[in-house]
């Protein structure tokens, strides 16, 4: 029976080519947009090299100081992270802790050319947390940071800008008014990997001044790698306790507490977007908002498809009357029209996947997002198929039910 349904479905779709084209266009365009945004979200939040430990990592991405009349917030300062967060590595639930700066643009002058690069200062533990693909040499270590050795790891793109793609190991570069010896070259990292992206990585100890060591709010972040995601609540609670312990370092004339916390990247985003003064993260609320927007985005093409399906089905009222007169049940007719609609939406889904792959390849080739390599992985493929099936069922149920309730005598006269 299913085989016959499929044959009828393809013949029906070819009968009204314009309606079929409009339906396929709407379905494929909708899925194309959703697929591109899903691929972007997957690229940002899912564990991918070099952030392969992101699935069991919590970050201190922001920190704020609050008082009755004053507030100050931004990235965390080295003082807080070094004194209160780094010791978390001693907990049984924690595998390791790394501290590093946000990437910031610095200028270099090489052979009469100005080169702009994204520089990040890190500790030695950073290279255990981030699993970079080294093309030359290797990382610097804790001793290099402690002794403030002027060594650097650079990206493949930076090697191209400084040395024209030639070997860089052992050579020196100038960045931010300082000279560093290149000890390693890594494959390029996407701009969307917020903890790993950069062009030049150097030890924190090489900073021009040591003023950063006295800052509660500054330009630093930290990643806490848990041994298991089940340990997240314990680590978050411990971070909150240490924020309370850090209160004596605040200026009592202005501030009385620190706000922030240890978050996954998605929780950190919800804290920045929905949190009040960084005090709370709201991941579930942000998820509901995103799901709501996706639902509204799907609603309009679904309603349009329902109307098209109604026109297509009611146009076949004589056929429906004949089948009802020969004993076809409502369930049989509903099943047939749902199969027809699923064939339509799955065909649109295939087209959407194909166009999506082309769009993602175009984004990658254009470098509009530096070094991003967006792709349709198995998880995104399953989500696209599920969306197409959902699309087909929702837009097909109502027209199919309307059709199944037609009076046989009225339908045989071609009236709906």
**pLDDT tens track for 371-416:** 998 988 888 888 888 877 777 777 777 776 766 666 555 555 555 5
Angle, vertex CA 346, rays to CA 46 and CA 43, nearest 5: 15
Per-residue model confidence (pLDDT) at position 413: 55
For residue 75, what are its two tokens? Answer: 């990235």
Residue 198 binned pLDDT confidence (cut-offs 50, 70, 90):
very high
What whole-number distance in Å separates Cα of residue 177 and Cα of residue 82?
Answer: 26
pLDDT digits (tens, 9 = 90+) for 44-65: 999 998 999 999 999 999 999 9
Both tokens of 312, joined, read 């297509």
- Give the N- to C-terminal CA distance of the chain in Å, as an integer: 26
Pairing between strand 134-137 and 104-110?
A: unpaired
CA distance 210 to 148: 11
The pLDDT value recorded for residue 307 is 73
Whether 107 contacts 116, CB under 8 Å: yes
Q: Does the pLDDT value for residue 281 go beyond 60?
A: yes
Q: Which residues on neighbouring strands pair with residue 199, listed in sequence order?
A: none
244-259 mean pLDDT:
92
Question: Can you give the pLDDT at residue 328?
Answer: 61
Position 355 pLDDT exceeds 60: yes
Tally Cβ neighbours within 10 Å of residue 188.
20
């Amino acid at each position: 029976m299913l085989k016959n349904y499929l044959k009828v479905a393809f013949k029906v779709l070819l009968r009204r080519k314009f309606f079929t084209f409009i339906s396929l266009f709407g379905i494929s365009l909708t899925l194309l947009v959703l697929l591109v945004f899903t691929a972007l979200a997957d690229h940002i939040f899912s564990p991918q090299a070099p952030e392969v430990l992101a699935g069991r990592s919590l970050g201190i991405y922001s920190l704020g100081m609050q008082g009755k009349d004053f507030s100050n917030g931004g990235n965390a300062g080295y003082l807080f992270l070094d004194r209160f967060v780094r010791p978390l590595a001693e907990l049984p639930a924690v595998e390791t802790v790394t501290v590093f700066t946000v990437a910031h643009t610095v200028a270099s002058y090489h052979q009469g050319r100005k080169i702009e690069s994204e520089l990040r200062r890190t500790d030695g533990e950073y290279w255990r947390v981030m699993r970079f693909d080294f093309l030359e040499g290797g990382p610097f270590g804790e001793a290099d940071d402690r002794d403030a050795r002027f060594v650097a790891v650079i990206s493949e793109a930076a090697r191209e800008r400084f040395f024209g793609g030639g070997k860089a190991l052992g050579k020196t570069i100038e960045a931010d008014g300082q000279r560093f010896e290149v000890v390693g070259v890594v494959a390029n990292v996407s701009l969307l990997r917020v903890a790993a992206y950069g062009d030049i990585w150097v030890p924190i100890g090489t900073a021009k001044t040591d003023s950063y060591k006295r800052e509660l709010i500054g330009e630093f972040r930290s990643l806490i790698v848990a041994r298991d995601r089940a340990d997240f609540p314990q680590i978050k609670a411990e971070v909150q306790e240490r924020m309370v312990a850090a209160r004596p370092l605040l200026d009592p004339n202005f501030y009385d507490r620190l706000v922030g916390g240890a978050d996954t990247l998605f929780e950190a985003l919800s804290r920045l977007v929905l949190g009040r003064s960084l005090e709370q993260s709201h991941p579930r609320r942000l998820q509901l908002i995103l799901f709501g927007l996706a639902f509204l985005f799907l609603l309009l093409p679904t309603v349009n498809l329902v109307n098209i399906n109604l026109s297509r089905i009611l146009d076949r009222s004589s056929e429906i009357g004949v089948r009802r007169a020969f004993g076809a049940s409502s369930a049989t007719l509903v099943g047939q029209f749902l199969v027809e609609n699923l064939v339509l939406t799955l065909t649109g889904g295939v087209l959407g996947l194909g166009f999506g792959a082309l769009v993602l390849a175009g984004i990658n080739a254009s470098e509009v997002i530096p070094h991003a390599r967006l792709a349709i992985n198995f998880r995104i493929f399953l989500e696209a198929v599920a969306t197409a099936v959902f699309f087909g069922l929702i837009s097909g149920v109502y027209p199919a039910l309307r059709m199944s309730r037609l009076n046989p005598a009225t339908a045989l006269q071609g009236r709906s």
